């Protein structure tokens, strides 16, 4: 029998979750949004039968739901995920996992108590390039990755002013939290080592400058709050001796938007990169995936050709959730990995505010 899925949040990301759940063979049974009209419109567009404005109501009226995805502003990820897990549902939650590591720990405990799957939408792990690179990494062709550099940098990419993205209470932070994908991807390639120390700095230049607004995002809120960073730079040392440097920005004097992880392994180096022509517009981007090796006394650059994938693995990631619930695939991420990532995010803010390196236990 097909897995029955409900979706909470009828915003920009819904189309990818819906596409992925259906690609995995699931039935989308309900859409719920505090903005019930938005849920109704999405349900009509997608041919979904049930519409709700309240999550408790959905859980009560549809006890047959097996799984629910959470696609709301970040502030609601933890309370909704815990509510759903306690109701015995598998949960697929958008990134960031939550506002901070303490919240992720609560979600992990709730998943363990319920014996249900809890996964996060780290969709970049599901890109064709990531599958290709992981084939080499798993085969031992790269060797231990000593060092990696993770970047998601924009020049003019603030996703609206005064809305939930720029309000720390609702978002947890700016690009450090919104663009955490490449840090996650580097951890994935590096074998999810345990972080030991973080040294980082955040900046808030341009964060209220309308000239730095991106071509996508949510509507501006005139009297809303804008109290997050516009850019951050950091360095992590792991207990294994591996190291990671990272740069994230919505607004910073970069040439153009770049989304990349570069790594140096004991046997080979490599890179996954999306380089944009116009900030935020995926259709203008060029993807590259490469391995760097020494062969027959020469330096050789291998260009790995993968199928085009404009959605950056979003549909495939949601499909992996359904197939994990059904026991057909291994999960692309775990609550432990999300917790470790959020400890790095917390330490980034702590290091920036104290001016000191932060130790992670």
Ligand X SMILES: NC(=O)c1ccc[n+]([C@@H]2O[C@H](COP(=O)([O-])OP(=O)(O)OC[C@H]3O[C@@H](n4cnc5c(N)ncnc54)[C@H](O)[C@@H]3O)[C@@H](O)[C@H]2O)c1
How many degrees, rounded to 5, is the angle at CA 143 between CA 131 and CA 122?
35
Contact status, residue 52 vs residue 39, Cβ threshold 8 Å: yes
Asked if 342 touches ligand X (CB under 6 A), the answer is no
74 binds ligand X (CB under 6 A): yes
In angstroms, rounded to a whole number, what is the distance separating the alpha carbons of residues 347 and 353?
Answer: 10
With beta carbons less than 8 A apart as the criterion, state whether 93 and 13 touch: no
CB 261 within 8 A of CB 127: no
Shortest CB 347 distance to ligand X, Å = 20
46 lies in the site for ligand X, by CB under 6 A: no
Q: Per-residue x/- mask for ligand X, residues 175 to 214, rule CB under 6 A?
A: ---x------------------------------------
CB 39 within 8 A of CB 51: yes
Please report how close the Cβ of residue 199 comes to ligand X at its closest, in angstroms.
Answer: 26
Phi, psi of 183 (to 5 degrees): -65, -45
Is 40 among the residues that bind ligand X (CB under 6 A)?
Answer: no
The residue from 2, 38, 62, 221 that contacts ligand X (CB under 6 A) is: 38
Q: Which of 121, 184, 279, 326 contacts ligand X by CB under 6 A?
A: 121
Q: What is the CA radius of gyration of the chain?
A: 20
Closest contact distance (angstroms) between CB of 298 and ligand X is 39
In degrees rounded to 5, what are phi and psi of residue 360? -115, 130
CB nearer ligand X, residue 224 or residue 357:
224
The nearer residue to ligand X, 66 or 178, going by C-beta atoms, is 178
Per CB under 6 A, does 105 bind ligand X? no
Number of residues that bind ligand X (CB under 6 A): 23
Among 43, 81, 91, 94, binds ligand X (CB under 6 A): 94
Rounded to whole angstroms, the Cα distance separating 128 from 18 reads 19
Task: Kindly state whether residue 9 participates in binding ligand X, applying the rule CB under 6 A.
Answer: yes
Q: Which helix (H) or strand (E) holds 278?
A: none
State the nearest-atom distance from the C-beta of 160 to ligand X, in Å: 9
Return the number of the residue (2 or 218) whose C-beta is nearest ligand X: 218
Touching ligand X, residues 132-171 (CB under 6 A): none
Q: Exposure string (b/e) for 169-197, b if CB count within 10 Å is 16 or more?
A: ebbbbbbbbbbbbbbbbbbbbbebbebbb
The interface region with ligand X, picked from 30-38, 131-139, 295-303, 345-353 by CB under 6 A, is: 30-38
Nearer to ligand X, 83 or 156 (CB): 83
- Residue 98 CA to residue 191 CA, distance in Å, equals 22
Instruction: Name the site residues for ligand X (rule: CB under 6 A).
Output: 8-13, 32-35, 38, 71-74, 76, 94-95, 121, 123, 178, 218, 314
């Amino acid at each position: 029998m097909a897995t029955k899925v409900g979706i909470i949040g009828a915003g920009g990301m819904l189309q990818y979750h819906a596409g992925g759940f259906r690609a995995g063979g699931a039935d989308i049974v309900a859409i719920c949004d505090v903005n019930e009209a938005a849920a109704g419109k999405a349900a009509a567009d997608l041919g979904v039968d049930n519409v709700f404005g309240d999550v408790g109501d959905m859980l009560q009226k549809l006890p047959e739901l097996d799984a629910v995805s959470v696609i709301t502003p970040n502030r609601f990820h933890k309370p909704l995920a815990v509510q759903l897990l306690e109701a015995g549902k598998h949960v697929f939650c958008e990134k960031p996992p939550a506002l901070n590591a303490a919240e992720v720990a609560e979600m992990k405990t709730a998943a363990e108590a319920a014996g249900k799957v809890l996964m996060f939408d780290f969709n970049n792990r599901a890109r064709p390039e990531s599958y290709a690179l992981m084939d080499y990494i798993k085969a031992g062709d790269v060797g231990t990755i000593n060092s990696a550099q993770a970047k998601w940098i924009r020049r003019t990419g603030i996703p609206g002013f005064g809305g939930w993205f720029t309000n720390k209470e609702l978002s947890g932070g700016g690009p450090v939290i919104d663009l955490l994908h490449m840090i996650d991807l580097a951890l994935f390639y590096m074998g999810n080592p345990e972080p030991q120390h973080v040294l980082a700095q955040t900046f808030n230049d341009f964060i209220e400058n309308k000239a730095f607004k991106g071509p996508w995002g949510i509507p501006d809120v005139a009297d809303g709050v804008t109290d997050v960073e516009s850019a951050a730079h950091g360095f992590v040392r792991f207990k294994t001796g591996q190291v990671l440097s990272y740069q994230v920005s919505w607004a910073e004097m970069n040439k153009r938007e770049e989304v990349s992880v570069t790594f140096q392994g004991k046997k080979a180096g490599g890179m996954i990169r999306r380089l944009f022509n116009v900030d935020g517009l995926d259709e203008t981007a060029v993807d590259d995936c490469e391995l760097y090796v020494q062969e027959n006394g020469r330096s050789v650059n291998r260009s790995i050709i993968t199928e085009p994938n404009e959605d950056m693995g979003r549909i495939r990631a949601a499909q992996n959730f359904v197939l994990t619930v059904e026991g057909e695939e291994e999960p692309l991420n775990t609550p432990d990995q999300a917790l470790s990532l959020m400890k790095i995010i917390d330490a980034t803010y702590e290091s920036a505010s104290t001016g000191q390196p932060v130790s992670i236990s």
